[in-house]
Amino acid sequence: MVKIDNIELPDFPLLLAPMEDVSDPPFRALCKEQGADVVYTEFISSEGLIRDAAKSMMKLDIYEKERPVGIQIFGANLESMLQTIDIVEKSNPDIIDINFGCPVKKVVSKGAGAGILKDIDLMVKLTEAMVKRTNLPITVKTRLGWDHNSIKIVEVAERLQDVGCKAISIHGRTRAQMYKGDADWKPIAEVKNNSRMHIPVFGNGDINSPEKAMEMRDRYGLDGAMIGRATIGYPWFFKEVKHFFNTGEHLPAPTIADRVDIARRHLQMAIDWKGERLGIVETRRHYTNYFKGIPHFKEYRLKMVTTDDSEGVFKIFDEVIHQFGDYQFS
């Protein structure tokens, strides 16, 4: 069993990574249903919350069926981050996660996300202040370092633990790498193998198959896996990993009927949550993966991402069942 503070999780839990415009309540619900042990919100700007920005406030929506759920926030200003804690607490999450890893320029340029990797003392100071501000467990998501020459993740993780961080998720790349090259899990294993570490250490980056998840568990000895891109349009990934862990075998791929059912429910939940227009537009990015691998599907995918009314999209789903219902995934 793995514990984040008092939250009990199974051995080697699978966590849905926070992803902007992806890990919203409808998608989190589907991932939870398919076996995710912890889900995280999209990352939320502390400055946006303080200004009461509608988009930031909406990201605080969480539902009972998601628990345990973490709200992830980013920022570099101590006072803003503390005010954010007070706002976030009202949504009653199970965990508050601090993003010290986002490599995107507009975040980094403000000294937030991975930008704070240039100032480890500030990173530790912010974490300590936030731990003192709330009774909720504070966790951290970060990267190996700013660049290859500044990787001190073993020391950084220990310092974060010492000021009260309850778990750490580490992406196996530096900020300089962005998402290029391969993730390096060896330094994450060094964090886990530090005899002074007693909080859970979760690995992140390049977990795109059940075999990779098993390697992270068995070869690198980490406490769990935080999974991002492999789940976009494919919430079944969590169930497939767990089945592989239990049996050593791969689950059969979801059928066309399974895929249409999930796409249908995803779209309906998105519309119910954020309205027709946004619900339609923001679900589109998932369709490529929902229907990946079906030959001669381009025409239908194009229709899905260009149809502007939900009734039209639901009709296309019906057409897909009619046209491809017998297709067998290898």
List the catalytic residues.
102
Q: How many helices (H) and strands (E) does the chain have?
A: 14, 11
Cα–Cα distance, 83 to 169 (Å, whole number): 24
Residue 70 pairs with which residues in a beta bridge?
40, 95
Cα–Cα distance, 199 to 40 (Å, whole number): 18
User: 94, 124, 99, 136: which is closest to 9 by C-alpha?
Assistant: 94
Cα–Cα distance, 112 to 76 (Å, whole number): 5
In the numeric block, which tokens belong to residue 200?
A: 């859970």
Which spans in 142-184 are helix H?
153-162
User: 88, 70, 103, 92: which is closest to 202 by C-alpha?
Assistant: 70
Which residue pairs, CB below 8 angstroms and at least 24 apart, start in 266-274?
266/26, 266/27, 266/30, 267/310, 267/313, 267/314, 268/310, 269/25, 269/26, 269/29, 270/24, 270/26, 271/310, 273/24, 273/25, 273/26, 273/61, 274/24, 274/58
Cis peptide before 252 (omega within 30 of 0): no
Q: Is 22 helix (H, G, I), strand (E, B) or coil?
A: coil
